[in-house]
Amino acid sequence: MRTKLFLTFLFVISIALVSNLIYQSLIIEDFSDYRRGVEEDRLYLVLAAVEGTYTDDGWDTHQLTHSMQWGTMLGYDLVLLDLDGNHLATSIMAVQKATPTMRRRIEGMVHIHKPVGDYEEFPLFSKDMEIGFLMARPLEARAELGAKESMFRQRVLDFLLISFLIAGGSAVLMAILMSLYLTQPLKRLKAAAELVAKGDLGVRVPPGPADEVGKLIVSFNRMVESLEREETLRRHLTSNIAHELRTPVTILRSNLEAVSDGIVPCNPETIRSLESEVERLTNLISGIEDFTKAEAFLLRPAELEEVNLCEFTSDIARGMQKVFQDRGASLSITCGSDKNVVIDPGKLETVLRNILTNASTHAGGGEARISCGITSGKVHIEVSDSGPGIPEEDLENIFKRFYKGKGSEGTGLGLSISKELVEAMGGSISVANSPGGGAVFRVELPFQKH
């Protein structure tokens, strides 16, 4: 990356150099155009002055001499011709007629005997009538004037050179500082990523600048925290699975060895005992499969849909009626809101089915109730039952994986799955015992609507 930064800044410097050269060329060209324009304006002023010395009686010699002297001071070698091509006046003749002081002034400004180039002919007019021709060519300026022009050009070059050196030096310095500023956090990030690849999930990168690199570091730390958390959960899950599988497998092995050794008779009662342990293993494996599917469900992007809260809850309740009837219980529903909300229906349906399945088990042949509504800007859904409630020692552990209270027939995964799904939707789930008896599960989700 440092090499790329240097190449980028070198490219910028190259562009600056080319821009300076172009700018220099444009300045010199503009200066030359300005000089040509000034010379043309001066020449037109001389032409106008000479034309102004012509009257109805002919040329005013006195005024013509002054105009020719003035034209010489402006830097021109002048020759006035009549229509027949005869010389009427010249700048040299006009200078010779000037006072000594004025002659010194003129000769101090131009070399009157050092013309440059060839004459250029300009027609003269008075009252739309051609009156003659003025031949003009530049005179060589004294050294002072040439030096001033050369000095101006040199200063332009010096200014552009200095500006380029400042810009180029600043760019190089900026390249060094930026490379150090950007590459150091990236180096730390690279080293941390290598440690993570080797299995060290405890590594963290110190916070960086509040820019894209800083945001990348924050995202990296969050990713490592998530990986560390998932690794911890994986280890706990593996330990819990091993523990849960060990008990029924041990019982099966002991009973089968006892039957094989003739200690326990192979009668229907023994077979039923073995079948119950097999069923326990089957349920546990099924619960693990459900948990694996739920984990994959959690990793899927949210699939938000707009649904009617009352209709959505009622459809789930109707689908669970058969489960309650088979267990001798009933299920009723109360809708406190008929509004449309934006939710992830797949995740929320899984959550409600798990809670309702738990309620059907603990309703004790009584009644379970489901209610929904919107309060304080949140969607809430409650499931309550008329069972004995949850022992106080189980309340704080009920959402942990593989945790089962006394007398529980499940795998201890359903409610933990529900909790993770609710949190993935940005909500919360809680449980409490009702004063009148039974447990109350409450799910709260952010209220969203189109």
Q: What is the pLDDT of residues 316-337, one digit of tens each?
A: 888 888 888 888 888 888 887 7
Q: Return the exposure string of 120-139: e unless at least 16 CB atoms fall within 10 Å of the residue's CB, then b.
A: eebebeeeeeebbbbbbebb
Looking from the CA of 320 toward its CB, the CA atoms found within 13 Å total 29
| pTM exceeding the 0.85 threshold for the entire prediction | no
CB 378 within 8 A of CB 411: no
Residue 66, both tokens? 């002054």
Fold (topology level) of 2-149: Beta-Lactamase (3.30.450)
Q: DSSP letters along 5-23, please?
A: HHHHHHHHHHHHHHHHHHH
CB 73 within 8 A of CB 112: no
User: Is residue 373 scored above 80 in pLDDT?
Assistant: yes
Give the pLDDT score at 298. Answer: 54
Fold (topology level) of 212-298: Helix Hairpins (1.10.287)
User: Could you report the per-residue pLDDT of 56-77, keeping only the tens digit for each?
Assistant: 888 888 898 898 888 888 888 9
Give the pLDDT score at 278. Answer: 80
300-446 belongs to CATH 3.30.70.141: no
Give the pLDDT score at 443. Answer: 92
Give the integer Cα–Cα distance in Å for 99 and 105.
10
Residue ranges, comma separated, of all CATH 3.30.450 domains in the chain are 2-149
User: Is residue 412 scored above 70 in pLDDT?
Assistant: no
What percent of the chain has pLDDT above 90?
A: 5
What pLDDT band is residue 78 in, cutting at 50, 70 and 90? very high
Identify which of 241, 260, 272, 218 has the alpha carbon closest to the alpha carbon of residue 401. Answer: 241
Cβ neighbours of 294 (radius 10 Å)? 22
Tell me what the mean pLDDT of segment 374-401 comes to: 82
Tell me what the mean pLDDT of segment 163-175 comes to: 72
Q: How many helices (H) and strands (E) does the chain have?
A: 11, 14
User: Could you report the per-residue pLDDT of 184-241, keeping only the tens digit for each?
Assistant: 777 888 888 888 888 888 888 888 667 777 788 888 888 888 788 777 766 766 666 6
User: Is residue 123 scored above 90 in pLDDT?
Assistant: yes
Give the pLDDT score at 172. Answer: 72
Type of residue found at 248: P
Higher-scoring residue by pLDDT: 305, 292: 305
Higher-scoring residue by pLDDT: 273, 79: 79
CA distances from 49 to 53, 83, 118 (A): 7, 18, 22
Give the pLDDT score at 135. Answer: 92
Helix (H) or strand (E) holding 240: helix 212-261
Give the pLDDT score at 243. Answer: 64
Residue ranges, comma separated, of all CATH 3.30.565.10 domains in the chain are 300-446
List all residues 6 or more positions away from 281 whose beta carbon is below 8 Å from its beta carbon: 245, 248, 249, 252
CB 168 within 8 A of CB 13: yes
User: Is residue 295 scored above 70 in pLDDT?
Assistant: no
Give the pLDDT score at 134. Answer: 92
As a whole number, the mean pLDDT across the chain is 79
What percent of the chain has pLDDT above 70?
A: 81
Give the pLDDT score at 253. Answer: 82
Q: Identify the burial level of 109 via C-beta atoms within 10 angstroms of its C-beta, where 0-12 means exposed, 13-18 middle and 19 or more buried.
A: middle
What pLDDT band is residue 133 in, cutting at 50, 70 and 90? very high
Type of residue found at 72: T
Tell me what the mean pLDDT of segment 262-291 comes to: 74
Give the integer Cα–Cα distance in Å for 435 and 438.
8
